[in-house]
Amino acid sequence: MKLIVGLGNPTPKYRNTYHNLGFMTIDEIAKILGMKFSKEECKSKVAVKSVGGEEVVLAKPQTFMNLSGEAVKELMRKYGTYPEELLVIYDDVDIPVGRLRLRLEGSGGTHNGMRNIVSEIHTEKFNRLRIGFKDKDVETKSVNMIDKVLSPIAYQDKEKIGTAISKAAAAVSDWVEKGTTLEKLMQELNR
């Protein structure tokens, strides 16, 4: 079983913002795997498919970012998912724009959605794929972090972000379809 969750905020208002990089990536994974988000359950839009005899669930929580853990906890309970079968994909302001970081465990860091997931499922031992969008204006405090994450993706970042989403989606699809290990993908993605 694989439960792959992309984090974001529902409603068209947030569609092309930095905080929706998880949603954008999970949509790309769904295209590659030929999956459609045809169900609404566990406070999420869900796509389910058997791949090589293994159940794969893609999910986009509809709880808004800061309550993502509620949806993840319900999904894990419904599908009998162990933490090591969970992969969460999300944006990260602490990583340079367009860079990817795959880790097999860790804290929620500064990301409120991840903090809520850790709090709700009571463990940090689950997989996560972060898509960076670090900005010098946030570092120098000339831009508020909340304003940045909820702002539309800047023109100068679009190409790097698009490439990162494609690379992330391809890697996750290899994990699902080809059985590529996350350890091997870490070596490729974290360079």
Task: Write out residues in the chain with pLDDT < 70, as ranges.
Answer: 136-145
pTM exceeds 0.85? yes
Catalytic amino acids?
19
Strands 2-6 and 54-61: parallel
pLDDT tens track for 96-112: 999 999 999 999 888 99
Domain covering 2-189 in this structure, CATH number: 3.40.50.1470
Helices assigned H by DSSP within 7-135: 21-33, 68-79, 112-121
pLDDT at 80: 97
Q: Find the radius of gyration of the CA atoms of the chain.
A: 15
pLDDT tens track for 122-154: 999 999 999 999 876 555 555 666 777 888 999
- Please answer whether residues 6 and 58 qualify as being in contact, where contact means their C-beta atoms are separated by less than 8 angstroms: yes
Strands 39-41 and 2-6: unpaired
